[in-house]
Amino acid sequence: MEPISKSVKKKDHEPKMSGRSLYVDDLAMDGMLYGRQLHSAKAKARIKDIRLPKLPEGYYVVDKHDVTGVNRVAIVLNDTPVYAEDTVEYVGEPILMVVGPDRKKVDQILNEIVVVYEEEIPVLDMKKSDTVFFNYNYEKGDIEKAMAEADRVFEETFQTGYQEQAYLETQGLIAYPHDGRMTVRGSMQCPYYIHGAVSKALGYDTGDVQIIQDVTGGGFGGKEDYPSILACQVAVAAAKVGKPVKVVFDRREDMEFTSKRHPSICTYKVAIKNGEITGMDVDVLFNGGAYTTLSAVVLQRGIICANGVYRVDNLRVHGRAVKTNTVPCGAYRGFGAPQTFFAVEMIMDHIARDMGIEPLELKEKYIVKQGDSTSTSGEYHFHVPLPEMIERMDQLSDYRVKSKRYQNQTGRYRRGIGLSLVYHGCGFTGSGERDIIKAVVRIRKNADDTVEVLASNADIGQGLKTTFCKIVADTLGIPLERVLIENPDTDLVPDSGPTVASRSLMTVGGMLQRLSEKLKKEWKNGEEQIVEERYIEPDFIIPFDIGKFQGDAYPTYSWSVSAIEVEVDTLTASNKVLGAWGIFDVGVPIDMNIIQGQMQGGFLQGIGYSSMEQMDYNDKGVIRNNSFSDYIIPTSVDVPNLVTEIINNPYTHGPYGAKGAGELPLVGAAPAYVEAMENALGVSLYNAPFTPENTMKVLQEVSK
Amino acid sequence: MKETIKFILNNKEVVSTAKANERLLDVLRNEFRLTGVKCGCKEGECGACSVILDGKLANSCMVAMGSIQDSTVITIEGYRDTERFTVLDKAYAAVSAVQCGFCIPGMVLASECILAKNPHPTEAEIREGISGNLCRCTGYNAIVEAIGIAAKEGNGLW
């Protein structure tokens, strides 16, 4: 283990452990009012009339008429209304907000409001959508030729469902006007995204908007895009009433009406000639929901991963994100990649079994290596450690032996094991970092020789305060206690970009390392100094052309091998996870405990996605799994034997050798789990989550 | 005369004017400003609002005020000054078991209830003991490990 990886007590440990940390719902301000939204009850309708009861004194209704700037939330495109205009496009779309001093009274007023809808026929099924939000195509080699010359074309379709981030703290923000400005604070990942959105919605100069992150109870992507929407709504309310307004969602609102992982349908055609895979033609369809939010970038990452970790010389990928009258999907750990990785890993498994060879044997034949071309004709610039990770995995889990032994079982209890190989492209897709984000960080050295990290990245539990400070302290050669960091406040920190894409530690942490080296040279005892660093793209990168989808989509990749072993009870269709093993290459961990915590937490979230986290809407477009009773996430007893290991593969261009980590562990879980179920049940499977109900259907089919 | 509800909160006798059908969770947070008690779901599923009620772990969102006359309630605010908390604190810190922190006050009280009942629990017993407390960040391993460390280090305290 590298010296930097030695774990320290986390910077945020004490206040969180003792319950002293104040989350947004714990904050109160003088004169503060409570807001609650009226959500559309219809999936697609024109609003004919809204009948309001007589409002008691001190209570207000806030809607589209109160938006002083543009009634659109700036995300990637500007199509999401702050408050609904003449139509509603999904169940849950915010129409108005009732604001007042007493929460129960606010609820009562909401219940008395009558919205008269003229219903239209919603499009709920993504396959039936006629509105394509985003459409991307890319190819390399000669796919037509590969298909024409193939001995056979193996074609299969895979589906994945919603996944809800299910952070323990629901969405919540407080907005308050003061001195001609607007401050919004609360639970978030990306203060500067909100900053831009709120200034446009209010029509304020950016200097008149301040965003402060409070202690945030988990995000996982769910607090990347959604808080921008909520912030505009709350800020408009606060501007209207001239008082602080707090909105904290209850669990049902949060589950039903906020962004989630995109459901997908992926169709793969794989050309096979002389027992070799010679080409892949892939069609990726994502359900974007009613507005575009982050679908463009989620889809980009998804289709870049379409060929998995495999060398496919003739490749064509067609991706679409389409509109439906359902809740807009957005960011969730993995960001499009879990869907395509699920599909490609499953089809590799199916092709292998069809050929009569072991799945891992087929996969190993095509694993990319350093110097190979990526899906987008970029390059894998660095060592790909998958072969040694697979060997270690085999030692840990006994995968090869078990996988064979579990074929053709009979009897009530049947076991299965599955294994997946995935990567996570570290940081923003393409040239986003260079052309859009243009991150800036600062370090302020105080007269007492303490230093303060000034960056806009939010610690949402992933340990960023600790890892940022460790990098600075170690580089400067000063004790960790002398390096300080606060929750970001846009009045005080520069825009070092959002807390997304597994970029914060690798990219911003790398900038902090360079900046600390600079400060070390200029260090003057007892004096105040401020130093600043800007993002520089590594010089080895093949520039990414988003029009052609060509070049390095990512500077480097993190790698994982996951194996999951299950035991199915064929009488009850229930099953147990006997073991889940993950081996991860995330470069050098800046803190081993933190990285282990990320790997374990992410892996378990992925196992939830694979096996139990089922969410769907009914024929009216209403999501029915809107509580922890109906949407089940893993508890401490579901996967007692979850083992994670980190291999040492330093990234030469990351701080201390670190690269992206947070998203990686989730991605490989679904294919490993569903492969394990296939191994146990002796059938081919095509969907995730794969729940006990799905198992029951398979068992009924088999017994027919 | 207005009805009041008297109970012992963090070792002090208190009187609440809340109605009998109000949730203990809301009263603790709003009337007594004990914000270490977190609200995660309000339907008894997540455990973020856990308190120790008459020696047992309880979801305070599922407890009606009318049922707690003369009961003893301990929240993280009352527990954090104890010697046992100090042991748990060190153990949680040693393995970095705290990520976003939202489940932690409930998790700490669940840890206490496990150890109070069984000072030397097995891993399976620890997992069972926190199975009513959801954590979305950690995958639970570090929390389970921390409780195991506390059991060892706090030998004799429980």
* Domain-embedded: residue A289: yes
Position A702 scores a pLDDT of 77
Q: Looking at the domain assignment, is residue A63 inside a domain? A: yes
C-alpha distance from A19 to closest chain B C-alpha (Å): 4
Chain A residue numbers touching B142 (CB-CB < 8 A): 593, 596-597, 600
Tens digit of pLDDT for each residue in A312-328? 999 999 999 999 999 99
Contacts for B123 with CB less than 8 Å, ≥ 6 apart: A640, B144, B148
What residues of B are in contact with residue A579 (Cβ under 8 Å)? none
Strand partners, A280: A270, A315
Torsions phi, psi for A603 (to 5 deg): -65, -45
Does position A236 have pLDDT exceeding 60, yes or no?
A: yes
On whether both B24 and B68 belong to a single domain, the answer is: yes
- Say yes or no: A528 and A564 in one domain: no
Shortest distance between the Cα of A694 and any Cα of chain B, in A, equals 25
A478 and A560 together in one domain: no
User: Cβ distance A296 to A329 under 8 Å?
Assistant: no
Alpha-carbon dihedral A116, A120, A122, A123, rounded to 10 degrees = -160
User: Measuring CA to CA, how many Å separate A256 from each of A47, A89, A684, B35?
Assistant: 21, 14, 32, 26
Answer whether residue B1 shows pLDDT above 70: no
Q: Nearest CA to CA, how far is B97 from chain A (Å)?
A: 8
Domain membership of residue A15 (yes or no) is no
pLDDT of residue B155: 85
Residues in chain B closer than 8 A to A465 (CB atoms): none
Same domain, A356 and A421: yes
Average pLDDT score, chain A: 97
B129: closest CA of chain A, how far (Å): 9
End-to-end CA distance of chain A: 55
Determine contact: A332 vs chain B, CB below 8 A.
no
Mutation for A interface: B61, B102, B113, most A CBs within 10 A: B102
Instruction: Give me the residues of A, 4-23, that contact B with CB < 8 A.
Output: 7, 9-10, 12-23
Instruction: State the pLDDT at residue A681.
Output: 96
Mind listing the pLDDT tens digit for each residue in A582-592? 999 999 999 99
Question: Which residue among A17, A20, A601 sits closest to B139, beta carbon to beta carbon?
Answer: A601
Whether residue B68 sits in one domain with residue B12: yes
Q: A436 and A383, same structural domain?
A: no
Confidence of residue A671 (pLDDT cuts 50, 70, 90): very high
Distance of residue A13 Cα from the nearest chain B Cα, in angstroms: 6
Partner-chain residue, chosen from B124, B127, B139, that has the shortest CB–CB distance to A604: B139
Chain A positions touching B35 (Cβ under 8 A) are 19, 22-23, 25-26
A633 contacts B102? CB cut-off 8 A: no
Task: Please indicate, yes or no, if residue B105 is contained in any of the structural domains.
Answer: yes
CATH number where A319 lies? 3.30.365.10
Q: Which of B96, B133, B149 to mutate to test the interface with A (most CBs of A within 10 A)?
A: B96
A6 assigned to some structural domain:
no
Render pLDDT for A2-49 as a digit per residue (tens, 0 to 9).
999 999 999 999 999 999 999 999 999 999 999 999 999 999 999 999
Q: Do B139 and B125 share a structural domain?
A: yes
CB B143 within 8 A of CB B76: no
Listed by number, the residues of chain A in 594-613 with a beta carbon closer than 8 Å to a beta carbon of chain B are 594, 596-597, 599-605
Same-domain pairing of B65 and B86: no
- Which residue range forms the structural domain that includes residue B27? 5-77
B4 vs A108: CA distance, rounded Å: 26
Per-window interface: A 518-577 vs B, CB < 8 A: none
Please tell me which of the candidates B35, B94, B127 has its beta carbon nearest to residue A636: B127
| pLDDT higher than 90, residue A578 | yes
Interchain pair B99, A218: CB under 8 A: yes
Instruction: Give how many domains chain B has, as a whole number.
Output: 2
Q: Provide the chain B residues 101-130 that lie in CB contact (below 8 A) with chain A.
A: 101-105, 108, 123-124, 126-128, 130
Rounded to the nearest angstrom, the minimum Cα separation between A650 and chain B is 23
Asked whether residue A492 falls in the same domain as residue A376, the answer is no
Residue numbers of B between 24 and 83 with CB closer than 8 Å to A: 35-43, 45-46, 48, 75-77, 80
Same domain, B94 and B137: yes
Do A166 and B45 lie within an 8 Å CB cutoff? no
Q: Domain range for residue A677?
A: 264-429+551-703
Inter-chain residue contact A601 with B123, CB threshold 8 Å: no
Quick one: pLDDT band at residue A704, thresholds 50, 70, 90?
Answer: low
CA distance B81 to chain A (A): 9
CATH code of the domain covering residue B25 = 3.10.20.30
Residue of A nearest to B39 (CA): A169
pLDDT at B103: 98
Contact A330, A366 (CB under 8 A): no
* CB contact at 8 A, A132 and A283: no
| Count of domains observed in chain A | 3
User: What is residue B2's predicted lDDT score, i.e. its pLDDT?
Assistant: 65
pLDDT digits (tens, 9 = 90+) for A95-126: 999 999 999 999 999 999 999 999 999 999 99
Pairwise CB contact (< 8 Å): A169 & B80: no
Residue of A nearest to B85 (CA): A18
- CATH code, A96: 3.90.1170.50
**Is B53's pLDDT higher than 70?**
yes
- Which residue in B100, B103, B108 has the most chain A C-beta atoms within 10 A of its own C-beta, making it the best mutation to test that interface? B100
Minimum-distance CB partner of B137 among A250, A461, A635? A461
In this structure, the answer to whether residues B68 and B105 fall within a common structural domain is: no
| Distance from C-alpha of A620 to C-alpha of A421, rounded to nearest angstrom | 39
CA triple A116-A117-A119, angle to 5 deg: 155
Decide if B58 is inside a domain: yes
| A16 to B95: CB separation less than 8 angstroms, yes or no | no
Do B50 and B104 lie in one domain? The reply is no
Tens of pLDDT, residues B13-28: 999 999 999 999 999 9
Q: Taking Cα atoms as reference points, which of B141, B94, B88 lies closest to residue A600?
A: B141
Chain A touched by B21 (CB under 8 Å): no
In this structure, is residue A135 part of a structural domain?
Answer: no
What ipTM does the predicted assembly reach? 0.98
Please answer yes or no on whether B41 and A251 come within 8 Å at the CB atom. yes
DSSP string over A512-543: HHHHHHHHHHH--TT--EEEEEE----TT---
- Has residue A306 got a pLDDT over 90? yes
Report d(CA A481, CA B74) in Å as an integer.
33
What whole-number distance in Å separates Cα of residue A85 and Cα of residue A50?
12
User: Which residue in A218, A594, A629 is closest to B100 by CB distance?
Assistant: A218
Closest to A421 in 3D by CA, of A393, A398, A401:
A393
Which residues does chain A have within 8 Å of residue B144's beta carbon, measured at their own beta carbons? 636
- A408 & A307 share domain: yes
Q: pLDDT (tens digit, 9 = 90+) per residue, A133-166?
A: 999 999 999 999 999 999 999 999 999 999 999 9
A224 to chain B, closest Cα gap in Å = 16
**Any domain includes A71:** yes
Which of A534, A565, A584 corresponds to the end of one domain? A534
Residue A606 Cα, gap to closest chain B Cα (Å): 10
- Chain A residue with Cα closest to B41: A251
Please check whether residues B105 and B86 belong to one and the same domain.
yes
Same domain, B68 and B13: yes
| Domain co-membership, A50 together with A93 | yes
- How many interchain CB pairs under 8 A, A with B? 165
CA diameter of chain A: 82
CATH of residue B96's domain is: 1.10.150.120
**For B82-134, how does the pLDDT look when each residue is reduced to its tens digit (9 = 90+)?**
999 999 999 999 999 999 999 999 999 999 999 999 999 999 999 999 999 99
- Write out the two tokens for A682: 């002796």
Alpha-carbon distance B84 to nearest alpha carbon in chain A (angstroms): 12
Q: Are residues B58 and B109 in the same domain?
A: no
Q: How far is B60 from chain A (nearest CA, A)?
A: 16
Query: Does residue A577 sit in the same domain as residue A658?
Result: yes
Of A20, A605, A637, the CB nearest to B127: A637
Q: Please indicate, yes or no, if residue A150 is contained in any of the structural domains.
A: no
Percentage of chain A beyond pLDDT 90 is: 99
Residue A703 pLDDT level (bands cut at 50, 70, 90):
confident
**Cα–Cα dist A544/B88, whole Å:** 50
B19 located within any domain: yes
Rounded to a whole number, what is the distance in Å from the CA of B53 to chain A's nearest CA?
A: 18
Same domain? B126 vs B112: yes
Phi and psi of A50, rounded to 5°?
-125, 115
- Interchain contact A460–B (C-beta under 8 A): yes
Distance CA A475, CA A483 (A): 11
- Cα-Cα end-to-end distance for chain B: 44
Q: Do residues B145 and B114 share a domain?
A: yes
User: Cβ contact (<8 Å) for A597 and B137?
Assistant: yes
